[in-house]
């Protein structure tokens, strides 16, 4: 069998009504790797199979694509994708669209942190990894490191000998030792910093996500689009393309929904950015940054339409929800019908590792510019005590209509820095901010059975430095606990419910016997309150899903 850009494998049936697949990029972890990838079936055959299924359910076809994050193994990502399908099948089978499909996308991430299991195997793996990393160290840096070690070793031997034989006085020995140690440390610290950045695998995963992950996902969607068009009403390809271009066939388009975890959020948003039709007249507008005439379409390619976006602990810059010239993802985020963000102040992977790594690469001259979207906090407006549940919902279940700066004042990058302050710092005035399109779930104090799931659930307005220190050594998975912690029942219910059903249909599952949407929203807020989750509900979501003012939101001016 020939070489392929992607492999596509179907999950076992397991009594689940709708199919599931794992699509894997064949790009190597290292460019020198020549690992032969064997596939059970030609991916073109499986692609045709998926297209056949979607065509059979034309008008009711939906695809949910889940994308893993940084430091993910093939087995770990596959487990998550299978669990995603099983969870939706067990809990929302009757509510999902008749033509629903779950697809897990595996891009070539490198697992650096060891798995739980045999410590001997983990030590062997780590030793091999360090050896390869050292061999790849540029020769000038390796020589500089050896030189620094040599200075330290020679200085230590000479100082010891001089001290033993009393050749010179103690003060001279102390000064000489300090000079030698300082020089060697200066050299070694620089080399060690570079080495640690390499060993972390973060920048390597970023490169693979940008150059392999995004490109191969784009190609998968393109090939599926092509396959569906070729199977459309006639045998004439040109007529088929014209068929899908007709406005009245918009309802036939296949909905694309995404769950992006960690660096998977980067893959999702950049994939949509590439797939967007840049020559669509509604999205061209003019050269003004705050052009209010732009109204980008949700349509992607010939047969797809963007639906729901769920970002879980997204490892993308917090600038992604700032309306300004420096936001490269604004054009893709506003194309989704619904958008949700799950964050956690206690996510130390993003708080320290990712922010520190991006200090070297993100073009900002302040510390605030490097913060990650997965650390954004929701705060109660004008409240001395933090309110749990939906913070912009009153006691009667009516939304408090925060607009523009009022809405941004409920979101914080960290203590003392609301998103509105960062928006002003960017210096772009706009009546409609991209941040207003998202509904936010701050899970910092989320707990099940009184136990914190993604942090210690301390109930503080903001975590202190010592809280961060204790979190590092607590063993709590603040980055992936939303999805991988077996106790995170409510959080998984929300994530999978919103991604597979949408807000309105998900609310209906809370109490199937209740038809009052406002009552259901209030009930949902109470459930979130009981679990310690703070929610900032988008005004558009309330107007469209609860009040039914219109079928979909207006994207003009965002």
Which residues on neighbouring strands pair with residue 67, listed in sequence order? 105, 260
Sign of CA dihedral 495, 497, 498, 504: negative
* Mean per-residue pLDDT, 269-296: 67
Record the tokens describing residue 127, joined without a space.
């030793």
Q: Which has more confidence, 148 or 318?
A: 318
The band of 215, judged by pLDDT with boundaries at 50, 70 and 90, is very high
Q: Which among 222, 142, 154 has a CA at the least distance from the CA of 187?
A: 142
User: How confident is the model at residue 498, as a pLDDT?
Assistant: 97
pLDDT greater than 80 at residue 155: no
Q: Which has more confidence, 180 or 286?
A: 180
* Mean per-residue pLDDT, 366-381: 79
Lowest-pLDDT choice from 48-62, 110-124, 265-279: 110-124
User: How confident is the model at residue 247, as a pLDDT?
Assistant: 65
Please give the mean pLDDT across all residues of the chain.
Answer: 81
Looking at the whole model, is its pTM more than 0.85? yes
What are the Cα distances from residue 501, in Å, to 98, 121, 295, 382?
Answer: 12, 42, 25, 33
pLDDT greater than 70 at residue 284: no
Query: Which one of 162-176, 295-309, 485-499 scores highest in mean pLDDT?
Result: 485-499
Q: What is the pLDDT of residues 1-16, one digit of tens each?
A: 457 889 999 999 888 9
* Mean per-residue pLDDT, 172-186: 69
User: How confident is the model at residue 554, as a pLDDT?
Assistant: 64
**In sequence order, what are the residues at sequence separation of 6 or more whose Cβ sits closer than 8 angstroms to the Cβ of residue 68?**
76, 77, 80, 104, 105, 106, 107, 109, 261, 262, 264
The band of 112, judged by pLDDT with boundaries at 50, 70 and 90, is confident
User: How confident is the model at residue 172, as a pLDDT?
Assistant: 67
The band of 453, judged by pLDDT with boundaries at 50, 70 and 90, is very high
pLDDT greater than 80 at residue 83: yes
User: How confident is the model at residue 288, as a pLDDT?
Assistant: 58
User: How confident is the model at residue 525, as a pLDDT?
Assistant: 94
Q: Which has more confidence, 327 or 546?
A: 546
């Amino acid at each position: 069998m020939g070489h392929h850009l992607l492999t596509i494998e179907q999950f076992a049936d397991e009594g689940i009504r709708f199919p599931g697949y794992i699509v894997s990029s064949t790009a190597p972890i290292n460019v020198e790797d020549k690992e032969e990838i064997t596939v059970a079936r030609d991916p073109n055959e499986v692609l045709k199979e998926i297209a056949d299924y979607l065509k059979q359910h034309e008008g009711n076809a939906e695809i949910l694509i889940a994308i893993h994050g940084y430091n993910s193994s093939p087995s770990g990502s596959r487990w998550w994708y299978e669990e995603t399908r099983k969870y939706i099948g067990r809990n929302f089978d009757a509510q999902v669209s008749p033509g629903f499909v779950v697809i897990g996308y595996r891009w070539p991430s490198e697992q650096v942190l060891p798995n739980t299991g045999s410590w001997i195997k983990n030590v062997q793996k780590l030793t091999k990894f360090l050896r390869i990393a050292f061999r790849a160290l540029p020769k000038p840096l390796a020589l500089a490191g050896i030189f620094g070690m040599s200075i330290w070793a020679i200085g230590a031997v000479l100082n010891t000998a001089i001290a033993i034989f009393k050749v010179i006085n103690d003060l001279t020995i102390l000064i000489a030792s300090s000079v030698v140690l300082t020089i060697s440390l200066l050299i070694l610290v620089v080399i060690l910093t570079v080495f640690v950045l390499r060993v972390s695998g973060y920048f390597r995963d970023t490169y693979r996500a940008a150059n392999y992950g995004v490109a191969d996902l784009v190609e998968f969607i393109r090939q599926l689009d092509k396959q569906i068009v070729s199977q459309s009403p006639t045998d004439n390809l040109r007529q088929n393309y014209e068929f899908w271009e007709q406005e009245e066939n918009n309802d036939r388009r296949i909905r694309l929904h995404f769950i992006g975890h960690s660096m998977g959020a980067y893959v999702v948003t950049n994939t949509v950015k590439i797939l967007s039709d840049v020559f669509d007249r509604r999205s061209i507008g003019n050269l003004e940054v705050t052009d209010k005439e732009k109204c980008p379409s949700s349509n992607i390619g010939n047969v797809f339409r963007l639906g729901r976006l769920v970002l879980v602990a997204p490892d993308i810059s917090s600038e992604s929800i700032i309306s300004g010239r420096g936001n490269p993802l604004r054009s893709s985020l506003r194309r989704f019908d619904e958008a949700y963000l799950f964050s956690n102040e206690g996510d130390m992977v993003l708080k320290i590792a990712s922010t520190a790594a991006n200090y070297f690469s993100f073009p900002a001259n302040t510390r605030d510019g490097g913060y990650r979207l997965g650390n954004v906090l929701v705060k109660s407006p004008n409240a001395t005590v933090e309110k749990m549940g939906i913070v912009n919902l009153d006691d009667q279940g009516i939304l408090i209509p925060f607009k523009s700066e009022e809405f941004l004042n409920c979101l914080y990058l960290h203590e003392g820095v609301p998103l509105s302050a960062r928006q002003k710092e960017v210096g772009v005035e706009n009546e409609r901010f991209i941040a207003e399109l998202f509904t936010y779930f701050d899970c910092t104090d989320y707990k099940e059975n009184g136990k914190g799931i993604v942090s210690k659930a301390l109930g503080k307005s903001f975590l202190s430095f010592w809280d961060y220190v204790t979190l590092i050594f607590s063993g709590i998975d603040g980055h992936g606990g939303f999805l991988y912690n077996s106790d995170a029942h409510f959080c998984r219910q929300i994530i999978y419910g919103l991604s597979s059903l949408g807000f309105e249909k998900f609310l209906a599952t809370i109490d199937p016997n209740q038809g009052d949407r406002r009552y259901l929203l209030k009930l949902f807020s109470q459930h979130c309150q009981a679990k310690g989750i703070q929610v900032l509900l988008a005004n558009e979501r309330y107007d469209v899903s609860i009040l039914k003012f219109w079928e979909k939101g207006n994207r003009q001016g965002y």
